[in-house]
Structure 1
Amino acid sequence: MAANRVTEIKVAHLHPDQVERYEQLHRDIPAGNEQHMQEAGIVSLRIFREGLTLFMIVESDLSLALPDRVIDHQLEEEWHRMTGECFSKTWQDASEIYQLPKEGSRA
């Protein structure tokens, strides 16, 4: 794995009546939001759902982040407002408890 690559795992929970709305929002993400993520160096972002629990895996390469990127704060705030209404518990970092192969060992 490249030295600049970072993987984050996050967990959140949805309100029972917001599952379909949350999934619909993610079927039609504004292009500007995706551009912001790519310009921040995010190379992969995946969200999984099991019942009301969401799991997000974010892989970033800090060397790909644009240092002078321009963020549309209004677009970002609107996205966070819309998706945030769906959460009963917002995104929290998950702790890694095991890795195979162990970092630094030969595969």
Structure 2
Amino acid sequence: MRYCLALDLKDDPELISRYEVFHRDVWPEVVGHIREHGVSSMEIYRLGTRLFMIMETDDAVYDADRMAQAASSNPVVRQWETLMWEFQAPTPWTPTGQKWVTMDRIFDLQQQR
């Protein structure tokens, strides 16, 4: 399954630059956590302070709630998430206490005549 998610960054060029540096070499434990929970592909794009993530998952393995639960009990993943929150900011539409929010698809070329 494909998920498209959004998150913002704090509007600070130095923080944005540091955030991008961290994402050039994500901690191996974090990458392992993502993969072991059924995420087969993940890309993050940036425009200004808005981040856009495309995530492909294996439906037989991926469960967002189980992945979040495992993240909360993994000290390295928690450390990464705490560090990333120094750079990140919720979008205006993000529910309190959440980070990445799923976007709604409004167009699909394959469904057009």
Which interval holds the TM-score relative to the shorter structure?
0.7 to 0.9
Aligned to 1:79: 80
2:3 equivalent to 1:8: yes
Which structure has the highest strand share of the two?
1
- Equivalenced residue count is 95
- Choose the corresponding residue for 2:104, options 88, 95, 100: 95
Aligned AA for 1:27? Answer: R
- In 1, the alpha carbon distance for the partners of 2:101 and 2:60 equals 25
Which structure has the highest helix share of the two?
2
Alignment RMSD, CA only? 2.1
2:50 equivalent to 1:49: no
Q: What displacement does 1:64 show?
A: 4.9
Aligned AA for 1:100? Answer: L
Aligned AA for 2:25? Answer: D
Alignment TM-score, normalising by the size of structure 2: 0.74
Q: Which has the larger radius of gyration?
A: 1
Aligned AA for 1:15? Answer: K
Moved over 2 A (4+): 62-65
Give unpaired runs (5+ residues) of structure 1.
1-5
Report Cα offsets for 1:56-80 as digits up to 9, x if no partner: 0000012355xxxx86710110111
- In 2, the alpha carbon distance for the partners of 1:39 and 1:87 equals 24
- In 1, the alpha carbon distance for the partners of 2:61 and 2:74 equals 21
Aligned AA for 1:74? Answer: P
Q: What displacement does 1:93 show?
A: 1.3
Give unpaired runs (5+ residues) of structure 2.
63-69, 91-98
